[in-house]
Amino acid sequence: MLFRTTLLALTTVLLLPSPAFADPTADELLKKYDAVMGPENFLATIQMTAHRDDGTTRTYKMTVLKKGSEKFRLGFAEPAAVRGQEMLRQGDNLWVYMPNLKRAVRLANRDSFQGGDFNNADVLRVNYQADYTAKVVVDPTRADAWQLELHAKTKDAAYDMIKLWMRKSDSQPVKGEYYTASGKMLRMAEFTEFKVYSGLMRPGKISMKNMLATQRYSTMSWDSMDTHVDPPSGKFVLDDLGK
């Protein structure tokens, strides 16, 4: 009798429908975004093209080096006007090294990156887990993507509020909207050309549209990225800039 009761209970459990996998939490999606857009260590070559109001363009070619979550160094190869300039991030501090001055000048996260439509933090700091609180919200127009709403933890964050869409198939970012505290949209980004870089799948291109000057936009493209590097800490100090 005991065997029959046990068998019946086991059969009942097996016939119950399997529970659906739970959706990821906002914190899990934010962690995925940081891992995709700012892997722990990497060496990369990047191009940014800024499209101006008057129809002209300017393209910048850069080499970037990242170590951990706090160290980032960027050097310009083109155009000739900025060749030799370097940018350095140590934690919350940003500098640009000016070879004509032979010294480094402090930068702000929210300043424009080389006069384009990305700001300095967009390029030099990808640490949304540290900078924002997040929640998942429902977007009835995008059944294929999760939408995150991010709010800045401090005034030093790149934006006061961000809406970020990540596709459900693989949690890759596909769209971003960037706002002031009053709710005015400053920028809108599209993430495209997904590629695998040394084993890491990520967007190969970001197009950033200026919502205040609608004739302006900038694109950022990754030509290469090596995530299997371990750069020495000595590459991320002010005294090493320009060498």
Sign of the CA dihedral 210, 80, 78, 104? negative
Query: In a 3-state reduction of DSSP, which class is residue 238?
Result: helix
Q: Is 128 within 8 Å of 34 (Cβ atoms)?
A: yes
List the chain pLDDT tens, one digit each, 243 residues. 544 544 444 444 445 544 456 889 999 999 999 999 999 999 999 999 999 989 899 999 999 999 999 999 999 999 999 999 999 999 989 999 999 999 999 999 999 999 999 999 999 998 999 999 999 999 999 999 999 999 999 888 999 999 999 999 999 999 999 999 999 999 999 999 999 999 999 999 999 999 999 999 999 999 999 999 999 999 999 999 998
| Domains present along the chain, CATH in parentheses | 22-240 (2.50.20.10)
CA angle 25, 151, 222 (to 5 degrees): 80
Report if pTM > 0.85: yes
| Neighbouring C-beta atoms of residue 209, cutoff 10 Å | 19
Question: Nearest 10 degrees: CA dihedral of 114, 77, 207, 162?
Answer: -50
Residue 195: alpha-carbon gap to chain centroid? 15
